[in-house]
Copies of this chain bind each other. A is one copy, B any other.
Amino acid sequence: METSFEERLKQYGRVGRYLEKASAFHCDVNCRLFLGHLGNHLLNAADYHSSDRGFGMRSLNKINKTWVLSRLVIEMDEMPVRYENFYVETWVESAMRYFTNRNFHVQSEDGRSLGYGRSIWALIDTETRQPTSIMDIRDGELANWVEPTRECPIPKPGRVKMSSDAPLVAEIKAAYNDVDVNGHVNSVKYIEHVLDLFPIDFFRQTMLSRFEIAYVAESYFGDTLRFYKEQTGETEYEVRITKVAEDGAETECCRSMLRFK
C-alpha cells in the first residue's frame, strides 16, 4: 500500500542529503573532482530525492511520464579534492505547471559550503515527448514538497548571448558511451565534451567557477555534434552544440556558458 504524503514527509523531510566521495579516478590533473562527475552526483541526488518522495523517474515511467533536465547551473567556490567525502543537499525551490526548480548545495564533510547548483526540469509524456502538467501527478502533490526556507545564493541561469558567427571548433559523432538508458546523449556527456574544448592549462591555471548549460533538443547515437565556441568576456566563454541532419541542416542541442576565475 502506498504511503501518504504526511508519512513520507515525516520520514524524509523536504531536503535530501547524500554523502558522496571524490574517487581517485574521477579527479582531474589538479586532484579535484571533474565537473562532469560532480554533475552526475547532483543528478543522482535529484533522482534519490524524488524517488524517496514518490515522484522519481521510475514511478513516473510507469505512467508514461519522465523528467527532462532543461537547465543546469553549477557555481563552485572549491571543488572536492581526491578522496574527499562531501554532501550533496537538494530540494525543490518551486513547482510550476510544466517546470520545477530544484537546487543543490555541496558541502564538505565537516559542513563547509563548497558551492551551489540550480536546475530546471520539465515533465514530459514519454510517448508524445510533449510537456505534461506536473499538477496532474498525485493531485499536484509536488507543490507540497517545495522548501521555501532554504536559500540558493547563486544567480539563476542567464541568457546565453553568443553571436551567430561563433567559430566551429570541433565535431564528433555521438558514440556508445555518450548514450544513456533512454537512448539519448546523456546530460553529463555534453558537459564533458564542452570542457574538452579547453586546453589543460586552463584548468591548471584557473578555476571554473560557474558553468551553465541549457538543454534545448535531444541527440542520439550516431548524431554528428558540432561545437561552436566564443570568448564573451575576459574570463567567460560560451559554447553552442548543434546536431547535423543528413541534409546538412543544423539543430541546436545545447548552449553553455563557462566562467573561470
Contact = CB atoms under 8 A, between A and B. Distances in A.
Interface string A178-213: 111101001110001001101110010000000000
Contacts of A116: none
A237 interface: no
A47 interface: yes
B43 A181 contact: no
Contacts of A181: 24, 27-31, 82
B25 A40 contact: yes
Contacts of A30: 181
A83 B44 CA distance: 11
Nearest to A32: B181
Contact of A180 (B28, B183, B186, B196): B28
Contacts of A3: none
A57 interface: yes
B186 A28 contact: no
A196 B185 CA distance: 13
Contacts of A43: 24-25
Interface in A7-35: 23-31, 34
A175 B34 CA distance: 13
A157 interface: no
A215 interface: no
A118 to B, nearest CB: 19
A98 interface: no
A222 interface: yes
Interface in A221-257: 221-222
Contacts of A26: 40
B28 A44 contact: no
Contact of A222 (B29, B34, B40, B200): B200
Contacts of A176: 28-29, 195-196, 198-200, 203
Contacts of A34: 177
- CB-CB nearest 6 A-B residue pairs: A175-B196, A200-B221, A177-B192, A31-B181, A27-B181, A176-B196
